[in-house]
Amino acid sequence: MLSNLEQQPADALLALIKLHGEDPRADKIDLGVGVYRTGQGATPVFGAIKAAEQKLVDTQDSKSYLGPEGDMGFVHALMPYIFGQDDPAKGGRIEGMQTPGGTGAVRLTVALAKRAGVGRIIMGLPSWPNHAQILGDLAVELVSFKHAGTDGKVDMDALRAAISGGQSGDAIMLHGCCHNPTGIDYSNAQWDEIAALIAAKGLLPILDLAYQGLGAGLEEDAYGVRKVLDAVPEALIAYSCDKNFGMYRDRVGAIYVMAENSEVLGRVLTNGFALARAAWSMPPDHGGAAVRLILEDPGLTAMWLDELDTMRTRISQVRAKLAAAGQAGSIDLTPLGHQNGLFSVLPLSSEQIQTLRSDHGIYMAGSGRVNIAGLTAGNIDKFIADLAVVSG
């Protein structure tokens, strides 16, 4: 039977990590994989996480099973940050469960939506490639629209048309902030309009918040999610702590459900538990427990907020430097200054991307997506100069 399986392509980004690793050039630049890097090019464990992990080692007295919902202390501790200090559970209409990373959360939002009868999900492209893969794997139809124009701005007309073409039983997937891959986010005024349009059309919003705190700030980055939740009766939210706590490999995430009332909410969650049980039984505990220990301790919370702020500030400084460079050959870098988060897409051809890799040791995804945090004071000038040469 197994020989029936066809060869699948390697994950393009993971293949890129390997290629970069094998490149002997000392001045090579990795703009591929989506992790934060310091000005020295490192992706260190947060100090707050180290301290929480030590506390966990010292105090954890059992590794016995939890339930499919995971660590509910973790799930609840995050809620004020996502939904606001003022009634984060919206009078008992929001509850969550822990998931293996944001990926597990996205998968569960789509699986739950499908169980509820959703057959199509409206989503802007380009998007995080795994969104479409998850939809494909769960046999939910993707109805796509163009997220942004060549001017580096959100294509609001395309979004309006996609929403107005929505049918009963459709959901819409939106990035809460720091759009991956474009970095092109909705303004607050655009979120106001989007929330009203979604509510008027009766679409089920699925909001993916994987980078809270890496854009304009923790509160600012939650604007869209909160605005949509204020406008609609029900929604699904996928959350990742893997970037804003630097926990990538520890797989820390959560799904939140907002239902029209607590009775429906309870029923939705039992479906979430059943789906989780059949897929991964329960999420890995360690990372969620460490995040909970941070959020339960004001000193560690302050330390985490400070580290998050350092990340956010560095990303925006690199963006400002790129924007200030203006034109690099045929590439206008100025829009990168007002884009958000780790990523932006450069309008390069595949040949140009290939030449940057082979002739200049600059590694980026085949889509032209660059990880802004891969740029440092030591390599940014070379990057801009090489970009100018190649895009000439």
Q: Are strands 204-209 and 235-240 parallel, antiparallel or unpaired?
A: parallel
Which residue lies nearer to ligand PMP by CB, 181 or 361? 181
- Three-class DSSP category at 163: helix
Residue 349 backbone dihedrals phi, psi, to 5 degrees:
-80, 165
The nearest distance, CB 13 to ligand PMP, in angstroms, is 9
> Is position 304 annotated as part of the catalytic site?
no
Which residue lies nearer to ligand PMP by CB, 34 or 124? 34
Encoded tokens for 334: 């100025």
End-to-end CA distance of the chain: 52
Longest dimension (CA), the chain: 62
Which entry of 30, 155, 185, 208 is annotated as an active-site residue? 208
Contact (CB, 8 A) for 329 and 356: no
Which entry of 30, 170, 191, 243 is annotated as an active-site residue? 243
d(C-alpha 364, C-alpha 129), whole Å: 15
List helix spans (H) across the chain: 12-22, 47-59, 72-83, 101-115, 129-137, 156-164, 188-201, 218-221, 223-231, 262-279, 286-296, 298-325, 350-360, 380-391
Which entry of 30, 71, 128, 170 is annotated as an active-site residue? 128
The nearest distance, CB 207 to ligand PMP, in angstroms, is 10
The nearest distance, CB 248 to ligand PMP, in angstroms, is 6
Paired with 148 in beta bridges are 154
Which residue lies nearer to ligand PMP by CB, 128 or 363? 128
Encoded tokens for 315: 């990303």
Which residue lies nearer to ligand PMP by CB, 34 or 374? 34
Which residue lies nearer to ligand PMP by CB, 133 or 261? 133
Encoded tokens for 89: 């559970």
Which residue lies nearer to ligand PMP by CB, 275 or 328? 275
Contact (CB, 8 A) for 227 and 220: no
- Three-class DSSP category at 139: coil
The nearest distance, CB 103 to ligand PMP, in angstroms, is 3
Q: Which residue has the tokens 């293996």?
A: 100
> Is position 208 annotated as part of the catalytic site?
yes
The nearest distance, CB 102 to ligand PMP, in angstroms, is 3
The nearest distance, CB 388 to ligand PMP, in angstroms, is 29
The nearest distance, CB 75 to ligand PMP, in angstroms, is 15
d(C-alpha 240, C-alpha 102), whole Å: 4
Q: Report residue 375 CA to chain centroid gap.
A: 20
Which residue lies nearer to ligand PMP by CB, 253 or 361? 253
- How buried is 55 (Cβ within 10 angstroms: 0-12 exposed, 13-18 middle, 19+ buried)? middle
Instruction: Read off the amino acid at residue 217.
Output: G
Q: Which residues bind ligand PMP (CB under 6 A)?
A: 34, 101-103, 106, 128, 175, 180, 208, 210, 240, 242, 248, 253
Active site residues: 128, 208, 243
